[in-house]
Chain A
Amino acid sequence: MTNTQQLKTDVLVVGGGTAGTMAAIKAKQANPEAEVLILEKANIRRSGAIAMGMDGVNTAVIPGNSTPEQYVREITIANDGILNQKAVYQTGKLGYEVIQELDSWGVKFQKDTYGNYDLKQVHRVGKYVLPMPEGKDLKKILTRQVKRHKAKVTNRVMATRVMVKDGRAIGAVGFDVRNGDFVVIQAKAVILCTGACGRLGLPESGYLYGTYENPTNAGDGYSMAYHAGAELTNIECFQINPLIKDYNGPACAYVASPFGAYTANAEGHRFVSCDYWSGQMMLEIWKELNSGKGPIQLKMTHLDEDTISEIESILWSNERPSRERFHESRGENYRTHGVEMHISEIGLCSGHSASGVWVNEKGETTVPGLYAAGDMASVPHNYMIGAFVFGRLAGTNAVEYVRDIEHLEPDADWLAAEKARIYKPMQNPNGIPHTQVEYKLRRIVNNYLQPPKNTYKMDIALNKFINYHDTLDLMGARDPHELMRCMEVYFIRDCAEMAARASLYRKESRWGLYHYRIDYPEKNNEEWFCHVNLKKEDDQMTLFKRPVDPYIVDVNLEKEVYDVKVASK
């Protein structure tokens, strides 16, 4: 028999990474009396995208260097005009306060000899990159602040669904990934902060967990928000990154390019003018690789010894520190070798591109009482500072919202059905292992959804993803840990179907490689200057156009086109 744990809180934060820890801290700062609980399927000390710290801030808007308006302009152009400027403006406006607060908690940012933040230019226009050479303990510092602010934490419990009643979010259900307990949490508001869908495509190495994103980020929040009835947006704007071949981590140009490193083809020539990650840059990389001038590399061999040592000391202590032993095992060295780069498999992540759950400038989704922040919330190119900003907004607004709200009892039949759905693989211990079921699903994603996209391929993909429900039924789990991985495969399947449907719906090309359709190769502003949103309606995945809100910062998109191509030599 499975035990059931019943919990109650005012604000429930699902996922204790960058956005989630900040959401909990800010909710407690705004109302110390409110009960705030973080639910985390790993351990918040080392979880989420920044488990091993971060080597820099990519979107720092610091007075004297840039303004929120300039930042909104740059992101508007980089994201081909499709965005809610009011939401992006928040990242520009509140990012500086976030950095100052993190600084006061002991997070170290690079400063010049005068004590000013030492910003670098990586974007096409403007300085927004603030190095954090000693950013490795970021997550430990956030964990300490969560405890200081007396937010509660439940580690090793995975949420599977948001509970909804009378049209609003009333909590979440899930299970303990170690003892298998069924867990029901009643809450007055729920903030989803579960990160990207980083396990959508399959890395070329074939290793399921050799992903760019922390592989625990399996699209949990995308799927949970969808089943709760919330709108998702820009899903067809995939996340595709230029990564170290095979290692699948960043090289990282944001760290190295201010020191003089650059992306080059096999001949050593530049072919992109700017190393800021964008779909347009990825399209140039795809073209270069297909032109016979590949492989491509991050070139550092021309730099002097001191510079290379400094780059190494940053890259080998932060974010993905195992880079050092990867290069070592291959006998490669930045002094003598370019770092071979490659196009990653696809994922969903608004931290890098724009695919996510629809949120407004308050972090609200379209379901009352349900908030989202971080990589899974669609605020284009939001990166780490955007996750902190929207964690802060969601936490502050959610705690305000719960003031006049009472708990609602969840529906008993719904709970019984969800419990049966979760534990089904445990009834079938000799079923097909999750590893094989996941491998096949993600191979289909690679074969039919990896851009360039076309209708024939995506129709096949969609059909396979719909039929994959039957395959999921065959999955077997032998313990709660395996059950966690099984439930993640359900999330990945949902994300794959969303990715196929949204990509089929938008009949044009936009965002460079992220949504490059061979059958509709041109951008078509007349018909497609809009968001493509989707939601669950009468149990069906329904897609529709949502107009782009009027701009608050003027940008002439006819004149200002994001172009990073370097004329070939």
Chain B
Amino acid sequence: MALTTQRVDVPVIVDESKCLEKCNACIEVCPLDVLVKNPETGKAYMKYDECWFCLPCEKECPTNAITVQIPFLLR
């Protein structure tokens, strides 16, 4: 197959200045398992656009680094 990569607006926004390198709280609670750490920066980001906008990541973040938007298609 021939493939291409498309840009998408993702719902989960991480404030990198607040995200703690040693913390995995958001990654552990996400039901869809869409959050991972950037190995270079140690900060969390949304790797897969598969969000239920259910909010555990935002609620369980100890530093309030996460904002969940309603996915663009629904907004």
Contacts and interface: CB of A to CB of B under 8 A. Distances in A.
B3 A433 contact: yes
B45 to A, nearest CB: 14
B33 A214 contact: no
Interface in B42-59: 47-48, 50-56
Given A45-B28, A156-B33, A329-B70, A209 B50 contact: yes
B71 A207 contact: yes
Contact of A52 (B48, B56, B69, B71): B56
A209 B32 contact: yes
Given A322-B53, A322-B54, A430-B1, A214 B70 contact: no
B68 interface: yes
B31 A47 contact: yes
B1 A322 contact: no
Contact of A177 (B33, B71, B74): B33
A476 B1 CA distance: 10
Interface in B21-75: 28-33, 47-48, 50-56, 60, 68-71, 73-75
Given A52-B56, A214-B54, A481-B48, A325 B69 contact: yes
Contacts of A208: 50
Contacts of A42: 30-33
B33 A329 contact: no
Contacts of B48: 481
Contacts of B74: 205, 207, 210, 246-248, 326
Nearest to B72: A207
A341 B48 CA distance: 29
Contacts of A52: 54-56
Q: Which bucket holds chain B's interface residue count?
A: 20 to 34
B1 A209 contact: no
Nearest to B48: A481
Contacts of B69: 325
How would you classify the secondary structure of chain A's contact residues: helix, strand, loop or mixed?
A: loop
How would you classify the secondary structure of chain B's contact residues: helix, strand, loop or mixed?
A: loop
Nearest to A217: B31
Interface residues of A, number: 40
Interface string A216-235: 10000000000000000000
A288 to B, nearest CB: 24
Contacts of A216: 31-32
Contacts of A484: 33
B55 A321 contact: yes
A431 interface: yes
A155 to B, nearest CB: 8
Nearest to B28: A43
A51 B50 contact: no
A329 B52 contact: no
A424 interface: no
A215 B53 CA distance: 11
B13 to A, nearest CB: 12
Contacts of B54: 46, 51-52, 214, 320, 322
Contacts of B71: 205, 207, 209-210
Interface string A307-334: 0000000000000111001100110000
A326 B31 contact: no
A86 interface: no
A106 interface: no
Contact of A215 (B28, B50, B56, B75): B50
Interface in A426-481: 430-433, 474, 476, 481
13 contacts: A42-B30, A42-B31, A45-B28, A45-B29, A209-B50, A214-B54, A216-B31, A247-B70, A248-B74, A322-B68, A326-B70, A326-B74, A431-B1
Interface of A: 42-43, 45-48, 51-52, 156, 177-178, 205-211, 214-216, 246-248, 320-322, 325-326, 329-330, 430-433, 474, 476, 481, 484-485
Interface of B: 1, 3, 28-33, 47-48, 50-56, 60, 68-71, 73-75
Given A45-B29, A52-B55, A322-B53, 6 more contacts: A51-B31, A207-B71, A207-B74, A210-B74, A214-B54, A484-B33
Which 7 interchain pairs have the tightest Cβ spacing?
A: A46-B56, A42-B31, A207-B73, A46-B29, A322-B53, A205-B73, A205-B74
